[in-house]
Each structure stands twice: as C-alpha cells, then as structure tokens.
Structure 1
Amino acid sequence: MAQTYIAFLRAVNVGGRTVRMERLRELFAELGLADVRTYIQSGNVFFTSEETDRAALTRRIEEHLAEALGFDVPTMVQTVEEVAEAVDADPFAGVEVTPDVRLCVVFLSEPLGAGYEFPVRSPKGDWEILGATEGAAFVVMHLRNGRLGSNPATALPKDYRGQGTSRFFHTTVKILAAARKA
C-alpha cells in the first residue's frame, strides 16, 4: 500500500537557489513518485510511494535533485503520521508567545541520539530546544532587536551528524493540513 510522505527540503528558494514549485513537482514525478504536490515556496513536497526503505528513498531524491538543479538539497522525509504526532504532542505548551518569540520545528535526517537533557539552551539565550522526537526537534527562538539571531537548525548540538531544516510551528500545522487533503 502506498504511503504518503512529506519531503522537507533545505536551502530551496534562499540564497539564490531558486526553484519553481512546478519544477520540483516534475523532478519528484520523474522518480516515479505519485500524487506529487507542493506547499508554499519553501520546499515542502507531498507524494505517495510504495517505497518502504526511507533512507534509500531519501538518497534517490537528494541525488536526483542535485543532478537536476546543480546543488545539494538536503531532504528530510517524514510520513504524514509522524508530522501529525509531532504537532499533536503540543511541544510548545506553556511557552508564552510574544512578538520576540518564534516556535520552530527542525525536521531531522536522523534522531538526535541519547544523552540530551532538555531543555538545551544556547549560551547567548537566543534559542532553546525544548525536546525532540526521532524526526523533529522543537526549538524556541528569541529575537534580538526584532531579528532572528540564526537559523533554528543551528540550534542542533555540535556533535549531531545529521541534517536539519526548520519550519515555523504554525507553518508546520498548515503543511500537515495540506498534506492530509487528497
């Protein structure tokens, strides 16, 4: 039975790496993936596949995108159910949202690993990781002078060997709703 996946692409439509969503849909379809759709310009691709080896699927996507686009596109592939579990866990319960606070989900290519005691705070106080699942870390960003000090994915521990890409929590909720639409 086909599984519905969400591919969260890093570094798409930032820093001069412009890719039209129509082109992304074509590239995913070229891989034989079905029901390919995109959501907003930040590189969120929904598709279905019979593939059960997620690591192999991710490698195929990343290799195809790099070849077609001429630059690496780290890709974090999650099932709709996994994203729903992250959203439903209400990871930011109790966090006071102010104009200087941003709630972010950093989608991970591999789990953070054992040994992290949450919350993990930056020395400068500009971010804190409240917790994590196997596929996502929940980061609170504190704006300084009205600006984010860094990309939320930089909040990952220095010894983390995987990749990450971030989405605001409210955007993640919208991505999930869009992915659930048939």
Structure 2
Amino acid sequence: MGTFIALLRGINVSGQKLIKMEALRQALAALHLQNIQTYIQSGNVVFQSDTCEPGLLEQQISEQILAEFGFEVPVMVLTLEDLEFVWQHNPFAGEALPDDTQPYVAILAGMPLPDRLQILLAIDFEPDRLVVVNRFIYLRYHHGAGTTKLTNAVIENKLKMRATSRNWKTIRKLIEMAKNHG
C-alpha cells in the first residue's frame, strides 16, 4: 500500500467549487482509499491506496468528485518522493524570503515542452522570479502572491498544461503528514 498526496485545483476559492473537507473524505473513502487526511480547505489530501499508479488515482478522484459534487476539479496525485524532491531542490533555499509561505511551487501535470517553456521564461516578471526544476516551477514573489502577474493561470496558458500551486508552508506540512501516515 502506497502513501499519496492529492492536490485539487481551484476548490473553495472565492465561493467557487465549494467542498467541505468531511464530505471530500467521505467521497474518497468510497474509492477504497484509506487513512484519508485533509489539510486546510484548499484541496490537499494525504491518503493510502493499494492502487499505486498516480495517473489512475487522479482519474478516479476526478470522476468521484464530479459524480459526488457535480463539477470537474483537476487533480494531481504525487508521492512522498515527489514532494521530497521538491523540498530538496528548492533553488531559493539560501535566500532570505519574506515569510514561511515562500517560495510557492507550481506542480505541472507533466514535463513541460521545451518550446512552451521558452515562451514562459521569455516573459519579464520582475521583481518576481521563477526557476524550473523537472516538472516543478519554484516561484519567488517579491510582494506576495496576491499582486504578482506570475499566476497559475499564466503558467497554464503559456505551457498549455495543467498546474496547481502550493506555498512552502503547505509543502512542508504535506511532507510531514505523508511521513507520519499509516
């Protein structure tokens, strides 16, 4: 049985796609996922499953949310190893950051195509910065995430692929939850 982290994009934001965490846990339990834990209201779920294929789990969770709540939610399923990779490869680790939420990390649905990546990298987002490592984009916001032009929507538009972003505090908590799981 493997431990996984599901990241749901765009739930409980500005009154849209509202899902109570207890209802989400119940819906996921119907998929025979086990030891389901949620973290905050933004769609972070740590669970265990006999199904060890993240892509299949993404599809099953997305279909279950549509059936149970009546709307589509993009889902990305990661392993603890994926999140540990994110932690270990933080290019901003030696820098003074404004607070414990930074950097943010945009998790991509797959490896970005080089030509699409060049389009994103050619844009001047100063004073904000981004560094791409594998399928993860580390985002350092000079004035915070609320004022940046380097948004998840821009990343998805330029790369032509799904992405979901989490702050460093959430990444740290999800690693802790996954390590202590089961």
Higher helix share: 2
With structure 1 as the length reference, what TM-score do the two structures score?
Answer: 0.83
Q: What is the SS of the residue equivalent to 2:159?
A: coil
Gaps of 5+ in 1: none
Residue of structure 1 in register with 2:109 after alignment: 109
**Once the two structures are aligned, what percentage of the paired residues are identical?**
28
Whole-angstrom distance in 2 between the partners of 1:72 and 1:157: 17
Please tell me whether the aligned partners of residues 4 and 49 of structure 1 are also in contact (alpha carbons under 8 angstroms): yes
Whole-angstrom distance in 1 between the partners of 2:53 and 2:89: 26
1:159 Cα deviation (Å)?
A: 4.2
Instruction: Give the aligned length.
Output: 177
Compared CA separation, residues 68 and 148, structure 1 to 2 (3 A): same
Deviations 1:119-166 (A, max 9, x none): 9364342533212223x221122328x942357313426442321111
Compared CA separation, residues 108 and 139, structure 1 to 2 (3 A): same
After superposition, residues 57-136 of structure 1 pair within 5 angstroms as: 57-98=57-98, 102-114=102-114, 116=117, 120=121, 122-125=123-126, 127-134=128-135, 136=136
1:86 Cα deviation (Å)?
A: 0.9
Please give the root-mean-square deviation of Cα atoms over the aligned residues, in Å.
2.6
Residue of structure 1 in register with 2:8 after alignment: 9
After superposition, residues 27-38 of structure 1 pair within 5 angstroms as: 27-38=27-38
Tell me: higher relative CO, structure 1 or 2? Use CA pairs within 8 A at least 6 residues apart: 2
Q: Which amino acid aligns with 1:78?
A: L
Please tell me whether the aligned partners of residues 76 and 109 of structure 1 are also in contact (alpha carbons under 8 angstroms): yes
Gaps of 5+ in 2: none
Whole-angstrom distance in 1 between the partners of 2:20 and 2:154: 29
With structure 2 as the length reference, what TM-score do the two structures score?
Answer: 0.83
Q: What is the SS of the residue equivalent to 1:156?
A: helix
Q: Which amino acid aligns with 2:9?
A: R
Q: What is the SS of the residue equivalent to 1:91?
A: coil
Whole-angstrom distance in 1 between the partners of 2:27 and 2:171: 23
Q: What is the SS of the residue equivalent to 1:142?
A: coil
Deviations 1:4-54 (A, max 9, x none): 100011111112122111111111111111111111111100111122332
Whole-angstrom distance in 2 between the partners of 1:121 and 1:130: 12
